[in-house]
């Protein structure tokens, strides 16, 4: 179908996905996945449901987020299963939900929990230029993943609690990563960078990992728009960040697969055997572009690429049955370490699964953004 001629077929997916998630709850109304531990994927799923509740006006989705978050946040603001001393950026992501809880209730325990997570970031181990290490156990390494986990939280924290110095910090992280990890030839960003150049996956001259992993760039693309939403218009780095964002989106459109509108697991090597059109990266790019278009960070030229991408997602990667919506072609996980060398063969060897919340959470976020964009731009 042509996305512009069939816009109605692109609408309504957010409610379908949210209802599918509710349908997986136990009899007590709790979902087994967010019960496992405080972590970034459960946190993203809860955030998507919270946003669905607000945008769709359905209390069932909002209470889903609230109920599961309250299993972790103590009356004194402590966070069950979280350890500040891990200095792990992944552990910040679930804290993004605290702002909605604080706004909805005014309860100080949510503010206290947010202060704890901000304290981790203020004390986070850093590169020589002040870049956050991805984790304490990954010395001198910055990963694109970490920009999504921590930077939007820090930007919203800065706005909520009037800490302009932390807005400056957020800008510094976004720009530092772009400077060290962007490839000038393609405009794409490498997955990771090791300032010390000690890791086996790191180039001995640049410290960069060797390839452009779709989901890593998806994390960064989402991070930029989610951060900018909280930046003051007059912030001195805001325009620069908007500029590098649009430049990056042009690079992504250049490697978008033209027939499907989707993106490959290894972005610039679609013609290599074993590469495949991957769900999470494609969904994250669509989310970012839809939000960027809605908020005016992107020029309208990106509308067709965004809509074609979303059309490809719902038309090629999503199926429906009596259990609800199913999402396919999800890379189960990838990283960088001694056994995960960042090579092409490594990225295409990771398991490909269906219905993992690593993909379902972003799918709900993207559906909400596309629907909001279409509603606001056609009314």
Give CA–CA dist 322/55, Å, rounded.
25
- Distances 235 to 27, 171, 174, 205, 241 between C-alpha atoms, Å: 48, 9, 14, 34, 10
Work out the number of other CB atoms within 10 angstroms of the CB of residue 235: 17
Strands (E), the chain: 141-143, 192-194, 318-321, 324-327, 330-331, 352-353
Quote the DSSP letter at residue 131. P
Q: Which residues are catalytic?
A: 145
Question: How wide is the angle at C-alpha 137 spanned by C-alphas 131 and 139, nearest 5°?
Answer: 40
Give CA–CA dist 293/82, Å, rounded.
36
341: left (phi over 0), alpha (psi -120 to 50) or beta: alpha
Total residue count of the chain as it appears in this document: 379
Nearest to 92 by CA among 149, 29, 154: 149
Residue 318 phi/psi, 5° resolution?
A: -115, 135
Angle, nearest 10°, between helix axes 40-56 and 357-377?
A: 30
DSSP string, 63-130: HHHHHHHTTTB-TTS-BTT--GGG-BGGGGGGGGHHHHHHHHH--HHHHHHHHHHHHHHHT--B-TTS
Give CA–CA dist 88/121, Å, rounded.
9
- DSSP, collapsed to helix, strand or coil, labels residue 12 as coil
């Amino acid at each position: 179908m042509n996305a512009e001629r069939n816009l109605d077929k692109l609408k309504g997916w957010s409610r379908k996905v949210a209802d599918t998630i509710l349908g997986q709850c136990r009899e007590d109304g709790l979902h087994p996945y967010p019960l496992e531990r405080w972590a970034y994927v459960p946190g993203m799923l809860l955030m998507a449901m919270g946003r669905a509740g607000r945008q769709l006006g359905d209390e069932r989705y909002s209470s889903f987020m609230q109920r599961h978050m309250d299993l972790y946040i103590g009356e004194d603001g402590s966070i069950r299963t979280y350890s500040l001393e891990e200095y792990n950026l992944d552990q910040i992501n679930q804290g993004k939900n605290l702002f909605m809880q604080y706004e909805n209730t005014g309860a100080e325990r949510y503010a206290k929990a947010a202060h704890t997570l901000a304290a981790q970031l203020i004390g986070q181990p850093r590169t020589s230029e002040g870049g956050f290490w991805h984790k304490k156990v990954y010395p001198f390494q910055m990963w694109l993943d970490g920009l999504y986990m921590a930077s939007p939280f820090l930007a919203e924290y800065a706005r909520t609690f009037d800490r302009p110095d932390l807005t400056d910090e957020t800008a510094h992280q976004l720009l530092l990563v772009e400077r060290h990890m962007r490839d000038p030839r393609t405009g794409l960003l490498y997955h990771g960078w090791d300032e010390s150049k000690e890791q086996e996956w790191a180039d001995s001259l640049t410290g960069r990992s060797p390839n452009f992993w779709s989901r890593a760039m998806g994390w960064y693309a989402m991070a930029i728009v989610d951060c900018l939403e909280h930046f003051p218009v007059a912030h001195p780095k805001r325009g620069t960040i908007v500029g590098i964002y649009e430049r990056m989106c042009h690079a992504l459109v250049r490697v978008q697969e033209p027939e499907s509108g989707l993106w490959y697991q290894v972005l610039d090597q679609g013609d290599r055997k074993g590469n495949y059109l991957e769900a999470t990266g494609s969904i994250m790019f669509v989310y970012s572009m839809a939000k960027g278009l809605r908020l005016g960070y992107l020029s309208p030229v990106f509308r067709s690429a965004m809509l074609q991408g979303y059309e490809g997602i719902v038309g090629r990667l999503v199926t429906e049955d009596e259990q609800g919506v199913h999402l396919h072609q999800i890379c189960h996980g990838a990283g960088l370490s001694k056994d995960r060398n960042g090579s092409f063969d490594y990225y295409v060897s990771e398991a490909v699964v269906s219905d993992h919340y690593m993909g379902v959470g972003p799918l709900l976020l993207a559906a909400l953004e596309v629907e909001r964009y279409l509603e606001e731009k056609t009314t």
